[in-house]
Amino acid sequence: MLLIPCPWCGRRDEAEFRYGGEAHIARPADPAARDDAAWADYLYLRDNPKGLIAERWVHSAGCRRWFNLLRDTVSHRILAVYKIGEAPPRGEFGGDP
């Protein structure tokens, strides 16, 4: 079970959280302007990398806040957490936050 560092509550068991899929998928500002393929891309297509992925989590049994998290899908190491609306940290990751 992951130990997730909630930016508001600190480290908590994964069981307190709900997974929200890949992060940084913004809903298009003008959906009507998208063709079917572009819309389907937004709705359904997600990265499934072997390695680093930015994903969303919500501390549903805690502060109920959403946040972003950078995780290695191979080792399950969590490299960073950051707030919604912030860009993923780049470059040197200082290990587990």
Partner 1 sequence: MSQPFRLASGGRIERSRVLRFEFDGRHYEGHPGDTLASALLANGVRLVGRSFKLHRPRGILSAGPEEPSALVRIGDEPNCRVTRVALQDGLRAVSQHAWPSLRHDFGALADRCAGLLPAGFYYKTFMRPRALWEHVWEPALRRMAGLGRAPEGPDPSRYDHAHAHCDVLVVGGGPAGIAAAVAAGAQGARVILAETLPEFGEVADRDALAALPEVRLLSGTTVFGLYDGNYAVAVEECAAGRVRQRLWHIRAGRVVLATGAQERMLVFPGNDRPGVMLAGAVATYLARYGVAAGRRAVVFTNNDSAYRVAALLEQAQIAVAAIVDLRREPGPAARQRGHGTPFFPGHAVVATAGRHALRRVWVQRLAEDGGAVEGARIALDCDLLAVSGGWNPNLQLFAQAQGRLVYDGRRAAFVPAEAPPGIDCVGAAAGEFDETPPLPLWLVPAPGRAFVDLHNDVTADDIALAAREGMTAIEHTKRYTTLGMGTDQGRTGNLAGIGLLSQAAGRSLAATGITTFRPPVVPVGFGAIAGRARGRFSDPVRETPMHDWHEAAGAVFENVGQWRRPRYYPLAGETMDQAVRRECLAARDRAALFDASTLGKIEVSGRDAARFLDRLYINRWDDLAVGRCRYGVMCRDDGMVFDDGVGTRLGDNRFLVTTTTGNAAAVLDWFEEWLQTEWPELEVFCTSLTEEWANATLVGPRSREILAALAPGLALDRAAFPFMAMREAAVAGLPARLFRISFSGELSYEINVPAECGLALWEALIAAGRDYGLVPYGTEAMHVLRAEKGYFMVGQETDGTVTPLDLGLAVKTADFLGRRSLLRSDLARPGREQLVGLLPDDPGEVVAEGAALIADASASAPLAGHVTSSYFGPRIGRSFALGLVAGGRARHGETVWAAADGRLTPMRVAAPVFYDPQGRRRDG
Name the residues that contact partner 1, by CB under 8 A. 1-3, 13-14, 18, 20, 26-27, 31-32, 34, 36, 39-40, 43-44, 56, 58, 60, 64-66, 75-77, 84-85
| CB closer to partner 1, 56 vs 89 | 56
Angstrom distance (rounded) from CA 3 to CA 50: 20
Cβ–Cβ < 8 Å for 15, 40 = no
| CB closer to partner 1, 72 vs 89 | 72
At closest approach, how far in Å is the CB of 89 from partner 1? 18
Nearest CA to 8 out of 60, 52, 53 is that of: 60
Angstrom distance (rounded) from CA 18 to CA 64: 10
